């Protein structure tokens, strides 16, 4: 069999990449769904800066269809608005409890989950996931009180015997099992509950993604995030934060990925920075 040299491989990959770019640039994603379609977006409303609830309308937040008088704001809202606009679709936001999100997707209550959800292998059995829509790969850390005996920790092993809490059904709970000898507390329903438990001392530590630290430090200045030594943090078995759709909605998924492909890292970062600043003020 003839071997392909390195230059040939490089050329092949470059051509494939260029062909993919050409297809995604030339095709109109709006033609993949029916005109004027109403996309029902499921969102938790409790995970700043990705999503949170507000009581007053603003130039950037959106009304909650199933929670009259309240509005949802955050990075998830802005990304889903961009997608809806480029699809020439309308969007309706529904507040859905985290543990009910994929069930709501598959029984038709919502069409998309845009709520800081990562594409674990378990979730891929229940839904199809888009490409990552955050500015950079997701990272997780641990937060503790500044006066905690764990405040000087630099490795997961340093949390042996620590009482650690996470959110039920989320990576913030699943990842705790990577900490050898930890006292894994029963998970709570929401992210704010995790912070309240650590703040009042009923838990020693919590797991959180790095992007969400800022707003909670504004609310809980007595907490701090652990800076892990290289290679001493969590091992992640997923791509990152993605949009979930029903497996049969292949055209919608393709359209979403086409739009995400056109959003540069700089554009995503600008939106994330805007929402992080607003979340910190809202806290």
Helix segments in the chain, DSSP class H: 6-26, 75-86, 101-106, 121-124, 171-174, 191-199, 213-219, 250-261, 265-282
The SS3 of residue 246 is: coil
pTM for this entry:
0.82
Quick count: other Cβ atoms within 10 Å of Cβ 94?
17
| Tens of each residue's pLDDT in the chain, 283 residues | 332 333 333 333 343 444 344 344 457 887 888 888 999 999 999 999 999 999 999 999 999 999 999 999 999 999 999 999 999 999 999 999 999 999 999 999 999 999 999 999 999 999 999 999 999 888 999 999 999 999 999 999 999 999 999 999 999 999 999 999 999 999 999 999 999 999 999 999 999 999 889 889 989 999 999 999 888 999 998 999 999 999 999 999 999 999 999 999 999 999 999 999 999 887 6
The domain made up of 27-136+238-282 has a fold known as D-Maltodextrin-Binding Protein; domain 2 (3.40.190)
For residue 224, what are the β-bridge partners? 144
Q: Are 43 and 114 in contact (CB under 8 A)?
A: yes
What is the residue extent of each domain of the chain? 27-136+238-282, 140-225
CATH 3.40.190.10 for domain 140-225: yes
Q: What is the pLDDT of residue 31?
A: 84
Kindly give the interhelix angle for 250-261 and 6-26, rounded to the nearest 10 degrees.
Answer: 110
Q: What is the pLDDT of residue 8?
A: 38
């Amino acid at each position: 069999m003839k071997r392909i040299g390195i230059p040939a491989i490089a050329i092949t990959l470059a051509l494939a990449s260029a062909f993919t770019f050409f297809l995604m640039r030339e095709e109109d994603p709006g033609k993949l769904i029916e005109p004027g379609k109403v996309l029902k977006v499921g969102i938790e409303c409790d995970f700043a800066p990705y999503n949170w609830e507000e009581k007053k309308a603003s130039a950037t937040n959106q009304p909650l269809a199933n929670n009259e008088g309240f509005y949802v704001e955050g990075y998830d809202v802005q990304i889903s608005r961009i997608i809806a606009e480029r699809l020439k679709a309308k969007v309706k936001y529904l507040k859905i409890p985290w543990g009910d999100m994929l069930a709501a997707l598959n029984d038709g209550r919502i069409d998309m989950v845009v709520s800081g959800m990562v594409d674990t292998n378990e979730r891929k059995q229940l839904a199809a996931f888009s490409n990552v829509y955050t500015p950079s790969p997701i990272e997780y850390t641990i937060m503790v009180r500044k006066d905690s005996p764990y405040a000087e920790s630099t490795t997961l092993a340093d949390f042996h015997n620590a009482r650690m809490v996470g959110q039920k059904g989320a990576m913030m709970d699943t990842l705790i099992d990577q900490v050898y000898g930890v006292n894994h507390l029963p998970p709570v329903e929401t992210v704010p509950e995790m912070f309240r438990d650590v703040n009042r001392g009923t838990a020693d530590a919590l797991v959180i993604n790095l992007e969400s630290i800022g707003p909670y430090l504004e609310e809980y200045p007595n907490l701090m995030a652990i800076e892990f030594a290289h290679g001493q943090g969590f091992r992640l078995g997923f791509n990152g934060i993605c949009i979930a759709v029903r497996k049969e909605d292949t055209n919608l998924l393709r359209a979403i990925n086409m739009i995400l492909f056109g959003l540069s890292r700089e554009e995503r970062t600008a939106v994330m920075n805007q929402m992080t600043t607003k979340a910190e003020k809202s806290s």
